[in-house]
């Protein structure tokens, strides 16, 4: 079982009002199938598909676990995607989070035999999950069509956000200032900081975001064809928050599912829609089908993430229009939005 290194994004899930409707939407959009615990699994593990946080099912791409769909346990919770970061010691990480000015929404709780989970918020209020692996390490597939490839936090105050993550996880930051955008990539502790080693990033929320919107994470998935994914999302009852646009790293669209959860899709250059046909010639065309380097769920050597430069402002603006308004309501009610729980790994 591959184990994800400290601070690596290792899992994502979405909290929904209607999990069955979510299965239909994402099953059609990404070709996902879904795995629920059977009677034999419940008897063997003592697990019923339920945690103290939510009831959930696993999403699979090509038979590999890539995400989970979780039912809201409280109607005041937002409909949103959440990301988990790996840790070897959830209790120690929780202490670092508090010491750095964050807060624990849910203290570490065992989810036997899968692992230990917790939910935290950074000083700006962005919510994220922690996962200490047991039998479930996290993604069994990533950086391939139908699976996770990138995450970034949208923050109002980089002065408090950057030191927090770099202290808590040991991330090494690298500032990109292209096309007037203020963006910072984060690389794992010990790695040379820069886009080539980045595992996530931070974008600054500008005036395009509603004043009441809290800091939040955006989750990206790889699509075979960005334009086709955007069109299909609309056919399935979702919305396009940002129409497909090109970046040096591929074509991106920001989408919202039919229940209101916002996410992004990226088609890397080799996976984007077919380029314009070349001028007619009698010569044999040059070979242009080289595969970009990537890995498949090996956290120690992460695949190159979906780095965004000149198109990042478009995604940021779309993110500002796509996060549900009940985020603020959940805070007032004492509930913070957050991840549900990683899915089961059968033994």
Which tens digit of pLDDT belongs to each residue from 305-320? Answer: 344 434 454 555 555 4
- Please, are residues 113 and 140 in contact by the beta-carbon 8 Å criterion? no
Quick one: pLDDT band at residue 339, thresholds 50, 70, 90? low
Which tens digit of pLDDT belongs to each residue from 128-181? Answer: 999 999 999 999 999 999 999 999 999 999 999 999 999 999 999 999 876 667
Q: What is the pLDDT of residue 54?
A: 56
Candidates 109, 107, 137, 114; CA nearest to 48 is 114
Give me 66's structure tokens.
């890539």
Is residue 284 included in any domain, yes or no? no
Which tens digit of pLDDT belongs to each residue from 267-285? Answer: 988 654 444 444 443 344 3
Is residue 116 included in any domain, yes or no? yes
Q: What value does the mean pLDDT take over residues 183-202?
A: 95
Backbone φ and ψ for 111, nearest 5 degrees, come out as -125, 75
Is residue 15 included in any domain, yes or no? yes
Is the pTM value of this prediction over 0.85? Answer: no
Lowest mean pLDDT among 4-8, 29-33, 79-83, 248-252: 248-252
Contacts 24+ apart (CB under 8 A), 241-244: 241/318, 241/319, 241/321, 241/322, 242/314, 242/315, 242/317, 242/318
Is residue 87 included in any domain, yes or no? yes
Domain of residue 217, CATH code: 3.10.180.10
Which comes out higher in pLDDT, residue 92 or 214? Answer: 92
Q: Is 31 left (phi over 0), alpha (psi -120 to 50) or beta?
A: left
Is residue 341 included in any domain, yes or no? no
What domain count does the chain have? 1
Q: Tell me: cis bond preceding 113? Omega within 30 of 0 counts.
A: yes
- Please, are residues 295 and 143 in contact by the beta-carbon 8 Å criterion? yes
Quick one: pLDDT band at residue 248, thresholds 50, 70, 90? confident
Which comes out higher in pLDDT, residue 339 or 291? Answer: 339
Give me 49's structure tokens.
């598909």
Structural domain of residue 259, as residue ranges? Answer: 9-273+301-332
Is residue 305 included in any domain, yes or no? yes
Is residue 285 included in any domain, yes or no? no
3-state secondary structure of 118: strand
Which comes out higher in pLDDT, residue 181 or 87? Answer: 87
Q: What value does the mean pLDDT take over residues 38-52?
A: 40
Is residue 127 included in any domain, yes or no? yes
- Sign, Cα dihedral of 127, 8, 98, 107: positive
The mean pLDDT value of the chain amounts to: 80
Give the separation between CA 10 and CA 299, rounded to whole angstroms: 8
């Amino acid at each position: 079982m591959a184990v994800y290194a400290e601070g690596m994004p290792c899992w994502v899930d979405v909290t929904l009002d209607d999990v069955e409707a979510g299965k239909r939407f994402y099953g059609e959009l990404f070709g996902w199938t879904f795995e629920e615990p059977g009677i034999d699994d419940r008897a063997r593990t003592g697990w019923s598909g339920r945690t103290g946080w939510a009831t959930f099912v696993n999403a699979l791409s090509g038979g590999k676990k890539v995400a989970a769909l979780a039912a809201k346990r409280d109607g005041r919770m937002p409909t949103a995607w959440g990301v988990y970061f790996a840790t070897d010691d959830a209790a120690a990480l929780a202490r670092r989070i508090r010491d750095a000015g964050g807060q624990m929404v849910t203290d570490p709780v065992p989810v036997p035999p899968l692992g230990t989970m917790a939910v935290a918020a950074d000083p700006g209020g962005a919510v994220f999950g922690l996962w200490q692996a047991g039998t479930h390490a996290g993604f069994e597939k990533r950086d391939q069509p139908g699976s996770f490839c990138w995450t970034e936090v949208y923050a109002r105050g980089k002065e408090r956000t950057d030191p927090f993550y770099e202290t808590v996880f040991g991330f090494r930051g690298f500032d990109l200032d292209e096309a007037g955008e203020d963006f910072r990539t984060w690389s794992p502790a010990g790695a040379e900081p820069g886009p080539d080693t980045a595992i996530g990033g931070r974008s600054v929320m500008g005036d395009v975001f509603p004043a009441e919107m809290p800091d939040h994470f955006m989750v990206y998935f790889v699509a075979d064809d960005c334009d086709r994914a955007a069109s299909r999302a609309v056919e399935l009852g979702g919305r396009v928050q940002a129409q497909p646009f090109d970046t040096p790293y591929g074509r991106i669209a920001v989408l919202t599912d039919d229940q209101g959860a916002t996410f992004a899709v990226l088609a890397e250059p080799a996976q984007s829609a077919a380029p314009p046909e070349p001028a007619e010639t009698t010569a044999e065309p040059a070979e242009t089908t080289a595969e970009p380097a990537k890995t498949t769920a090996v956290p120690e050597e992460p695949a190159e993430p979906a780095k965004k430069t000149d198109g990042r402002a478009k995604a940021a603006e779309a993110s500002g229009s796509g996060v549900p308004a009940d985020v603020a309501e959940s805070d007032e009610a004492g509930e913070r939005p957050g991840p549900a729980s990683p899915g089961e790994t059968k033994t």
